[in-house]
């Protein structure tokens, strides 16, 4: 299935300036996420590491870190929010294919091994596709009729005790100015249903990455700034207050509201990184391919 619309070109946005990074460094403790334990000493989740092809994972991690460091200047804040144990969900922005690796590698360097959702085509890529499968990729077939199976597998991952990383836009943002666009409801459904099965709220951490949109992948030098903000967990305990009385699925209203809260937080974090206000006329809606007013 071909996604409608095309991502806007690099010329649509300006590179993240050194001045803006300096401003962010005064508000947050910026670290290089492409090194082991970037926020300081912490306990690795040894059980997760040993259960997920540790040698292959380390090789992929080192390769990703080398590529990222050679093509940009990565920084991050908020990685201390990553729990040392227990399940959680990371909901990430999806501006470019390149910056997908920033939150993935950062989680690994923090001693966790989340499973992550990625388009099924990546599993067939030469060499790297095999690595992706070895280190926990959950292939997502982008065809109609597959959504329920994908959601059920994601819920199983969480209820089995593993964290999960999701790019809830479902594809690269189609916003011409590369802001987060409308999110698919599957992420919220997965979170709410997994909470019901586990009997408690699963932390959802918003992670926005910005700066890679202006990188020329054929000639990336001079290296551009890329910053990820890993926000505090989103509170949605009110949406779980009556989960014991839900029917066969979480209420549509709860799914819609949780989806909205995640999109708002992603937009807020990206706005802080960029040092800009998002478009006043609204956010980009993937279904209609135009801006719609914010709720």
CATH of the domain at 102: 3.40.1130
Pairwise CA distance, residues 60 & 132, whole Å: 8
Q: 55 in helix, strand or coil?
A: helix
How many structural domains is the chain composed of?
A: 1
Q: Are 70 and 63 in contact (CB under 8 A)?
A: no
Least confident of 58-62, 142-146, 238-242: 142-146
Give the pLDDT of residue 10: 81
Q: Residue 6 falls within a domain, yes or no? A: no
Give the pLDDT of residue 127: 60
Using alpha carbons only, how large is the chain's radius of gyration in Å?
18
Pairing, β 290-292 against β 224-230: unpaired
User: Does the structure show a pLDDT above 70 at 47?
Assistant: yes
Q: Average pLDDT for residues 225-238, to the nearest whole number? A: 98
Confidence of residue 1 (pLDDT cuts 50, 70, 90): very low
Give the pLDDT of residue 59: 84
Name, in order, each residue with C-beta under 8 angstroms of 249's C-beta and a sequence gap of 6 or more: 189, 193
Name, in order, each residue with C-beta under 8 angstroms of 150's C-beta and a sequence gap of 6 or more: 117, 138, 140, 141, 186
Q: Residue 8 falls within a domain, yes or no? A: no
Paired strand residues for 117: 138
Q: Residue 199 falls within a domain, yes or no? A: yes
Convert the pLDDT of each residue in 63-92 to its tens digit.
Answer: 889 999 999 999 999 999 999 999 999 999
User: Around Cβ 136, how many Cβ atoms within 10 Å?
Assistant: 23
Q: Average pLDDT for residues 98-119, to the nearest whole number? A: 88
User: Does the structure show a pLDDT above 90 at 118?
Assistant: no
Between residues 214 and 3, the one the model is more confident about: 214
Q: What is the pTM (predicted TM-score) of this model? A: 0.93
What's the farthest any 2 CA atoms get from each other in the chain? 57
Q: Residue 273 falls within a domain, yes or no? A: yes
User: Does the structure show a pLDDT above 70 at 157?
Assistant: yes
Q: Residue 37 falls within a domain, yes or no? A: yes
Give the pLDDT of residue 2: 53
Q: Average pLDDT for residues 220-246, to the nearest whole number? A: 96
User: Does the structure show a pLDDT above 80 at 152?
Assistant: yes
User: Does the structure show a pLDDT above 60 at 269?
Assistant: yes
User: Does the structure show a pLDDT above 60 at 29?
Assistant: yes
Confidence of residue 122 (pLDDT cuts 50, 70, 90): low
Q: Residue 9 falls within a domain, yes or no? A: no
User: Does the structure show a pLDDT above 90 at 258?
Assistant: yes
* Full residue range of the structural domain in which residue 212 is found: 18-292
Give the pLDDT of residue 120: 67
Q: Residue 141 falls within a domain, yes or no? A: yes
Q: Average pLDDT for residues 234-254, to the nearest whole number? A: 96
Distance, C-alpha 255 to centroid of its chain: 18
Convert the pLDDT of each residue in 59-70 to its tens digit.
Answer: 888 988 999 999
């Amino acid at each position: 299935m071909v996604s409608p619309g095309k991502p806007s070109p690099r010329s649509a946005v300006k590179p993240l300036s050194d001045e803006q990074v300096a401003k962010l460094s005064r508000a947050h403790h910026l670290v290089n996420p492409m090194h082991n334990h970037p926020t300081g000493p912490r306990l690795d989740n040894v059980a997760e590491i040993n259960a997920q092809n540790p040698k292959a994972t380390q090789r992929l991690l080192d390769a990703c870190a080398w590529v990222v460091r050679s093509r940009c200047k990565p920084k991050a804040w908020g990685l201390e929010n990553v729990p040392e144990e227990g399940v959680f969900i990371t909901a990430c922005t999806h501006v470019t294919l390149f910056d997908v690796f920033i939150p993935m590698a950062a989680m690994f360097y923090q001693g966790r091994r989340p499973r992550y959702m990625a388009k099924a085509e990546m599993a067939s890529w030469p060499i790297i596709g095999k690595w992706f499968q070895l280190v926990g990729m959950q292939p997502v077939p982008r065809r109609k009729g597959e959504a329920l199976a994908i959601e059920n597998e994601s819920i199983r991952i969480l209820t089995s005790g593993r964290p999960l990383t999701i790019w809830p836009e479902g594809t690269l943002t189609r916003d011409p100015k590369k802001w987060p666009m409308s999110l698919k409801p599957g992420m919220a459904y997965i979170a709410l249903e997994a909470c019901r099965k586990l009997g408690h709220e699963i932390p959802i951490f918003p992670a926005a990455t910005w700066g890679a949109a202006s990188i020329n992948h054929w000639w990336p030098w001079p290296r551009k700034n890329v910053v990820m903000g890993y926000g505090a967990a989103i509170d949605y305990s009110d949406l779980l207050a009556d989960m014991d009385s839900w029917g066969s699925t979480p209420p549509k209203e709860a799914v819609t509201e949780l989806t909205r809260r995640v999109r708002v937080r992603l937009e807020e974090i990206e706005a802080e990184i960029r040092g800009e206000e998002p478009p006043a006329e609204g956010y980009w809606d993937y279904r209609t391919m135009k801006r719609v007013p914010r709720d």
